[in-house]
A and B are shown apart, each in its own frame.
Chain A
Amino acid sequence: MLNRRKNALSDLSRSGMAIRITIPILGMAGMGISGYLTYVHYQWIEPMCLAGMDCSSVLFSPYAQIWDIPISLLGFLMYAVLTVCGGIFVYRQKRYSPLIALGIYTLALSGTLYSIYLIYREFRMQAFCSWCLGSAILMASILVLSIINMSAGGRHIIEILNSKHVKQPKFSAMMVRKGES
């Protein structure tokens, strides 16, 4: 019984940690994309773009900025916060912080919704930006991971890690019986 619990704990910890490590990795990738787009915005240079797409039209469109602030800069800040929060999860390893998980979820959801709006604008403009689509995929991925982290990774890991709190009487009793034998 104890070994089964240890194995289950180990498996869930591994999957949970994989999720938690992936969030800051995706966040850093997002920082790279949005940082590049911010550089393009301020330098007025032609962005690299996949064939068949029109990144310039999208990036220099009025929808690419809110007053004088490029939305890529807002995206960079958002990814930076997500990276830091994800990094805290990794750093703290098995200590699950629901508030940070909730923060990641909130940021990722708002980022994903805004990305969906921007993709809608691209459809209206009939111009698509590969970087923006890539960023939207990254943000949506972080959102999915944050939900998994909260609903499965977080809950199960914490429940099992804290099983001595949750099911302490039975667990202790079993330990005592094993010790006696």
Chain B
Amino acid sequence: MNIIVIPNGKLSSWAFIAATAIAILAAVVLIMLGRVSYANTDFTPLSPTSGSPSITPMPTPSGTDASDTLGSPPIFVSGTSIGSPDAPVIIVIYSDFQCNPCQHFALTAGKELENTYVETGKVRLIFKHFVVYGEESMLAAQAAECAAEQNKFWPYYYLLMQERTSPEVADVSVAMLESLAQQVGLNMATFDASLTSGKFMEKVIYDDSEGRSLEVTGTPAFFINRIKGVGIKPFETFQKVIEELLSGSIS
């Protein structure tokens, strides 16, 4: 087999075989690096000196909204938080309503987390605002806080994430946010009054500033107890970390 020919002679087929072996090796190394990076760096434990998000204590169960599904345990909802006050694992999510990966998280892993761990009392989710895409994101964040005021943050969050398109399409407007509020069943007079007064702007700015002080570099960002992660993660990645935290193998 003389594959390669040069003017002054022929390179042996060994050169071709060696090149093939190098190429296969390079591909295998890339695949292995990808797998190692996938397994090890999805979430980073915070160093002892790192800060962690502030967590407001849940109010007593009497002040919460319980699931009305017969036979299922109650799901405690307070503001932008959902889950048992005694949940051993707390996940703080920094997110922007116009960010595509945030949307992806909300409609995939977020839903699964709620169904699998929040409903069983093992995990409490806390949503915090991290404004990436300017005024429209700020407006959407305030609208979500207006929904939280009426204890309907989570249905509003999922609906908004489902309905929005992308930061390039200026589809977040007061009319759109009001329409979603109606669909969720909010008291529209209260919602409109809160949104137009801008009473939650300070809360949104506080969340955002806190995220920046915690060196959140992108959205969505997660703090699972004291473990930090940024970007889209599949449900299985959360599951792995949560199970390890629950079993005590990591802290």
Is B16 positioned at the interface, with any CB of A under 8 Å from its CB? Answer: yes
Chain B interface (Cβ < 8 Å from any Cβ of A): 2-8, 11, 15-16, 19-20, 22-24, 26-27, 30-31, 33-34, 37-38, 41-42, 99-101, 104, 108, 132, 165-168, 218-219, 231-234, 237
Find chain A residues with CB under 8 A from B27 CB.
109-111, 113-114, 117
Which 9 A-B residue pairs are closest in the complex by CB-CB distance?
A109-B23, A113-B27, A46-B166, A110-B26, A110-B23, A60-B232, A155-B5, A106-B19, A98-B4
Chain A neighbourhood of B11, CB < 8 A: 98, 102
A66 in contact (CB, < 8 A): yes
Task: Determine which residue in B5, B24, B33, B233 has the highest number of CB atoms from chain A within 10 A of its CB, and name it.
Answer: B5
Report which A residues bind B (CB closer than 8 A): 44-46, 56-57, 60-63, 65-67, 71, 74, 96, 98, 101-102, 105-111, 113-114, 117, 150-151, 154-155, 158-159, 161-162, 165
Cα distance A164–B6 in the bound complex, in angstroms: 14
Residues of A within 8 A of B237 (CB): 62
Knowing A114-B27, A151-B3, the reply to whether A66 touches B166 (Cβ < 8 A) is no
Take A46-B100, A66-B33, A110-B27 as given contacts and tell me if A150 and B3 are in contact as well, using a CB distance cutoff of 8 Å: yes
Q: Find chain B residues with CB under 8 A from A62 CB.
A: 37-38, 42, 231-234, 237
Residues A45 and B167 in contact, CB atoms below 8 Å apart: yes
CB–CB A60/B4 < 8 A: no
* Contact partners of A165 in chain B: CB under 8 A: 7-8
User: How close is B73's CB to chain A, nearest CB, in angstroms?
Assistant: 31
Within the assembled complex, what's the spacing in Å between the Cα atoms of A57 and B232?
A: 9
Could you tell me the distance between the alpha carbons of A159 and B2 in the complex, rounded to whole angstroms?
A: 12
- With a cutoff of 8 Å between Cβ atoms, the chain A residues found around residue B108 in the complex are 57
A155 partner residues in chain B, CB cutoff 8 A:
2-5
A residues less than 8 Å from B42 (CB atoms): 62
